[in-house]
A and B are shown apart, each in its own frame.
Chain A
Amino acid sequence: MASLQEYLFISGLLFAIGLAGVLIRRNIIVIFMCLELMLSAANLTLVAFSRFNTGENGLPDYNGQVLVFFIITVAAAEVAVGLAIIVALYRARQTVDVKELTSMRG
């Protein structure tokens, strides 16, 4: 089993890749997937800390895993709403390219 630092590094790496995807890609669905990836990377951090931060009896700190449970639930709801918004957006604009979605320009 690897050390805490390695887990955290992998988590950060995944997060960075997700961030890069958000910054580079122009397809809004892919951007959304990258967001999900970043969320999961954060989950990995939580689980790693939970495992290495053992309590008095030597068992993992399950509060962290409960938080992961909540994050996954909220993420599921978020995906549903987000995709519904994307569908509505596509109906309105016939595109999923964020370069063309600039109606918020000041």
Chain B
Amino acid sequence: MPEFFSWSILLLPLCSAAVIQLLLREMAGIAVRMSVGSAATTFVIALVMLGSEDRTLAVQWATAGSFHIEIGLIIDDLSRGMMIVVTGVGLLVHLFSLAYMKEDEARARYFAGLSIFMFSMTGIVLASNFIMMFIFWELVGFSSYLLIGHWFQKNSAAEAAKKAFLVNRIGDFGFMIGILMLWGILGTFAFREMSESTTVIAQNSSTLTGIAVLLVFCGALGKSAQVPLHVWLPDAMEGPTPVSALIHAATMVAAGVYMLFRLQLSAGIEIFEGFAGTTIAWIGGITSLLAALMATQQDDIKRVLAYSTLSQLGYMVMAVGLAGEHSAEAGMFHLYTHAWFKALLFLGSGAVIYACHHEQNIWKMGGLFQRMRKTTVTFAVGTAALMAIYPLSGFWSKEQILEAAHHDQPVLFWLAIIVATLTPFYMTRLFIVAFLGKGRGHGAQAAKEVPPLMLYPLFALSCMAVIAGFTPVAETLSPAFHHPSHSFSLANPVFLISLAALLVGIGSGILVYRGRDADPLEGNTIFKIFRNKFYFDEVYLVLVRVFQNAVAIVVHFLDDFIIGNLLVGGLVRTASGVGNLFRKLQSGNLQGYAFLFGAGIILIIYLTVFAR
């Protein structure tokens, strides 16, 4: 395949975004077609790329001595599979948005945002070195900011966009330090050269390497919304629902997992061994548990899904951090299946919200099964896949993660099992409350089936949610896949335990919520903590306030006394003194200048020729 195609998969969305933003802001019709066209083209290219051989295309970007930074595309199984996920989900989300955003006045801006997101995400996936990945890492943050804040007239959306951006900054700061430290240790930014440097790692102290890996993980902490930087993701649901499906469920938030896996793949699994990997796995596990608990008490359909995304991301991070023999592959495999069914769930919730006239509270829905049968069926497929019911895609990947956890860290395995119980519980709650029973709100009672342009992406995604986990499909499409070493038989304890967890979760969900009009657990003190998201936001608010005040006092002192009086005042006086001195030299006299010029040349000749 010619290089041109590989580059065009990166540059097409950029062109589309640029043209829309610069020329087509007033012509939404053309802008929309252009953006969808570029998404479709990149998807086709990604499909064609499946058959191409592994290689790296690189262009030198900056050189300073022996130090090079290149802009390059790395094409291997991992990036090819990831491109299928990104462009596939991207294309379906574009199509869904056509219908969902039909009446939005700023359609052109929205699609420009989608295009620039596709560009930056492709950049992360194909980046051949850490510097390029960091650039695109920031770009996805920027496009996510644009899209969360799409309805910036709403105060909450603007706040959420700002929050997402700032929280990501914290993570990215660590990420940048981590990249630089890794460069110091490995001596290279390029992924393909890292494997050659593994001997260097052995010579360096493993503590240093571990710290570098943890700092790099900070980037993932922000972007993949792990505890304690998870607070932005639920708020990011203020953006349009298709955006949540694409960015905050399927692709961008998975970038952290992808980055960790890429690092593990190129630098070797050794650098994840020791305390770094353990910390990462534990953070993943804790995130997954906390998020699942919080999800049980959310009333907003999108927030339930957002916390479920957090919880599944925690699974993936845990799998990558375990650094077992094939645990990271299991994590990537889960990323891939999760992308399809979570995008399906989000788009399904988008369809529901659209049908209910922008009602997002599940307690005001209900009875949607009678009015929107097709949507309900696709949503049910997504729910089942998320619950990991055999033989849907979620089952295969989750089972692999559990197997890996069981093998490496039994404590984390039991933690994951609790999550595996909670997931079916809250999804059953969501499904029963929103789709079954009787309609409880005006929106829900007036709901109609959504237009076909919304249904087709749902159908396509539910197909993927069903088949993505089967070995032949997974082998072709998944970024990383490892044949399960065990069989899913009743003799396997892991399988039995997870089956039990699934049944307990569904059963308790049905028992508690069947036929209810309000949450029976609402008054409970413990569940109140879940509902209030463990008071993370409140604690952060207090922390920020206290630190701000303390820092403000110190800074004020520094500013007033040291900088204001000593440094700035002193500098000003020095500068004006020196400036006056030099002003005398600027006589404006041409001959004076020429004289000095000539005298300088004579001096240089003297110094170079005679005074040696």
Contacts and interface: CB of A to CB of B under 8 A. Distances in A.
Interface residues of A, number: 15
Contacts of B594: 22-23
A106 B587 CA distance: 7
A98 B595 CA distance: 14
A98 B589 contact: yes
A28 B594 CA distance: 13
A103 B588 contact: yes
A105 B586 contact: yes
Nearest to A106: B586
Interface string B315-358: 00000000000000000000000000000000000000000000
A73 B585 CA distance: 35
Contacts of A103: 588
A77 interface: no
B591 A102 contact: no
A104 B591 contact: no
Given A19-B598, A23-B595, A98 B586 contact: no
Contact of A99 (B586, B589, B595): B589
A103 B583 CA distance: 13
B62 to A, nearest CB: 33
Interface in B537-594: 582-591, 594
B598 A23 contact: yes
A106 B583 contact: yes
A101 B595 CA distance: 16
Interface string A19-53: 10011101010010000000000000000000000
A82 to B, nearest CB: 14
A99 B587 CA distance: 11
Nearest to A26: B591
A102 B598 contact: no
Given A19-B598, A23-B598, A106 B582 contact: yes
Nearest to B601: A19
Interface residues of B, number: 13
A104 B588 contact: yes
Contacts of B587: 102, 105-106
Given A19-B598, A23-B595, A23-B598, A98 B590 contact: yes
Nearest to A104: B588
B588 A106 contact: yes
A33 B179 CA distance: 60
A23 B585 CA distance: 17
A1 B590 CA distance: 40
A66 to B, nearest CB: 26
Contact of A23 (B582, B584, B588, B591): B591
Contacts of B585: 106
Q: Which of B583, B584, B587, B591 has the most CB of A within 10 A?
A: B591
B598 to A, nearest CB: 6
A101 B590 contact: yes
A105 B587 CA distance: 5
A91 to B, nearest CB: 19
Nearest to A28: B590
A20 B343 CA distance: 81
Contacts of A31: 590
B588 A102 contact: yes
A9 B598 CA distance: 18
A106 B589 CA distance: 11
A47 B586 CA distance: 38
Contacts of B582: 106
Interface string A53-89: 0000000000000000000000000000000000000
A37 B587 CA distance: 27
Nearest to B584: A106
A63 to B, nearest CB: 25
A98 B598 contact: no
A31 B584 CA distance: 25
A80 to B, nearest CB: 21
A22 B582 CA distance: 24
A102 B592 CA distance: 11
A98 B591 contact: yes
A76 to B, nearest CB: 23
A55 to B, nearest CB: 28
A16 B586 CA distance: 25
Nearest to B579: A106
A103 B586 CA distance: 10
B589 A102 contact: yes
A22 B599 CA distance: 13
A19 B595 CA distance: 9
Nearest to A16: B598
A104 B593 CA distance: 12
A78 B588 CA distance: 23
Contacts of B583: 106
A81 to B, nearest CB: 18
Nearest to B590: A98
7 contacts: A23-B591, A23-B598, A99-B589, A99-B591, A101-B588, A105-B586, A106-B584
Given A22-B591, A23-B594, 5 more contacts: A19-B598, A98-B589, A102-B589, A104-B588, A106-B582
Interface of B: 582-591, 594-595, 598
Interface of A: 19, 22-24, 26, 28, 31, 98-99, 101-106
3 closest A-B pairs by beta carbon, nearest first, are A106-B586, A105-B588, A102-B588
